[in-house]
C-alpha cells in the first residue's frame, strides 16, 4: 500500500518547471510583507487601545469625569481612523498575495494540465482541480503538492446542493389617514389612523459540494466547494469524474 500511495502523490516540480508558490522568492517575499503588515496592525491596535484608556484616566483624574469622557471620544475617533488606514494597508498586502498566487497558479495549471492531459478548474483559495475520464488530481498551489486519483481508485462521486442558511431583512411603509389642525403658536393636533405594512425579504444561501471517494485508506476523499452560481462547472466536473 505504501508504494501505491507514493505513486498517487508527487510534487509539481517533478513534471513541470514550476514549484510551490511559497517555495518561490516572490511568494516568500509577499507572504513576509503580509505577515509584517499584520503584526504592525496588531501592535498599533493594542497600542492605541492602551493609549486611549490611559488618556481617559489622565483627564478624568486631572480635569474631571466629563473631560475624560470628552477626550475619550476624541482620541477614540482618532484611533479608529488610524486603525482603519492600517487595516487598508494590511488588506492591500493580503490581496496582492492572493492575486499573485492566483496568476502563478493559472500558469502552473496550464503547464501541468498539458502533461496530465486533463482539463482544470482553479479555486481562489489556492487549489486547482484537474480532471478527465481517466483521473482526478488536486494541486495545492502554495505547497506544490499534487494528489492523484486514477479512475480505478474512485469508488463514488457525489454532488450536493447544500443549504447554508438564510438571511432576512424587513422594510416598513406607513399610510396615514385623518385630519390635522395647527395654530400659529406651533401647537398642532392630529387625529386619524395609521396603517403600517411590513415586508420581509428572505434570501436562501446555497453552495455546491462535490465529494470524490477513493479506495485509498490514507486519502479517502477530497472535496470541492463551488458557489451557488457555479452550478454549471460543478455538474460538468461531476459528469466527467463519476465512475
pLDDT digits (tens, 9 = 90+) for 202-227: 878 889 999 999 888 777 888 889 99
Q: Is 46 inside any structural domain?
A: yes
Q: Is 225 inside any structural domain?
A: no
Q: Which of 240, 20, 12 is nearest to 113 (CA)?
A: 12
Place of cell 508504494: 3
Confidence of residue 10 (pLDDT cuts 50, 70, 90): confident
Residue 96 and residue 197 in one domain: no
Residue 139 and residue 180 in one domain: no
Which H or E element spans position 224?
Answer: strand 221-227
Residue 125 and residue 6 in one domain: yes
Residue 112 and residue 184 in one domain: no
Q: Is 162 inside any structural domain?
A: no
Residue 23 and residue 65 in one domain: yes
Residue 94 and residue 192 in one domain: no
Domain with 45 in it: 2-151
Query: How far apart (Å, rounded) are the C-alpha atoms in residues 186 and 163?
Result: 56
Prediction pTM value:
0.74
Q: Is 16 inside any structural domain?
A: yes
Q: Give me 239's grid cell.
A: 459528469
Residue 44 and residue 126 in one domain: yes
Q: Is 237 inside any structural domain?
A: no
Residue 124 and residue 190 in one domain: no
Which H or E element spans position 65?
Answer: helix 65-116
Residue 195 and residue 94 in one domain: no
Residue 179 and residue 142 in one domain: no
Given a cut of 50, is residue 189 above it in pLDDT? no
The pLDDT assigned to 4 comes to: 37
Q: Please tell me the total count of domains within the chain.
A: 2
Q: Is 242 inside any structural domain?
A: no
Q: Which of 207, 205, 206, 198 is nearest to 169 (CA)?
A: 198
Q: Which of 79, 82, 85 is nearest to 56 (CA)?
A: 79
Amino acid at each position: 500500500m505504501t508504494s501505491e500511495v507514493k505513486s498517487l502523490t508527487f510534487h509539481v516540480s517533478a513534471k513541470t518547471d514550476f514549484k510551490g508558490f511559497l517555495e518561490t522568492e516572490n511568494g516568500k517575499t509577499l507572504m513576509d510583507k503580509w505577515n509584517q503588515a499584520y503584526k504592525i496592525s496588531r501592535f498599533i491596535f493594542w497600542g492605541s487601545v492602551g493609549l486611549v484608556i490611559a488618556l481617559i484616566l489622565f483627564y478624568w483624574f486631572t480635569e474631571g469625569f466629563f473631560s475624560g469622557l470628552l477626550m475619550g471620544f476624541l482620541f477614540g475617533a482618532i484611533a479608529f481612523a488610524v486603525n482603519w488606514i492600517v487595516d487598508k494597508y494590511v488588506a492591500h498586502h493580503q490581496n496582492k498575495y492572493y492575486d499573485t498566487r492566483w496568476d502563478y497558479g493559472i500558469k502552473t495549471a496550464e503547464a501541468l494540465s498539458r502533461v496530465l492531459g486533463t482539463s482544470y478548474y482553479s479555486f481562489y483559495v489556492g487549489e486547482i482541480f484537474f480532471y478527465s475520464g481517466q483521473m482526478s488530481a488536486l494541486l495545492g498551489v502554495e505547497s506544490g503538492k499534487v494528489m492523484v486519483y486514477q479512475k480505478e481508485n474512485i469508488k463514488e462521486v457525489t454532488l450536493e446542493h447544500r443549504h447554508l442558511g438564510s438571511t432576512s431583512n424587513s422594510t416598513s411603509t406607513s399610510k396615514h389617514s385623518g385630519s390635522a389642525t395647527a395654530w400659529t403658536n406651533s401647537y398642532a393636533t392630529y387625529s386619524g389612523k395609521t396603517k403600517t405594512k411590513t415586508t420581509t425579504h428572505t434570501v436562501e444561501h446555497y453552495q455546491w459540494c462535490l465529494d470524490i471517494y477513493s479506495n485509498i485508506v490514507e486519502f479517502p476523499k477530497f472535496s470541492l466547494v463551488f458557489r451557488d452560481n457555479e452550478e454549471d462547472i460543478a455538474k460538468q466536473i461531476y459528469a466527467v469524474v463519476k465512475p
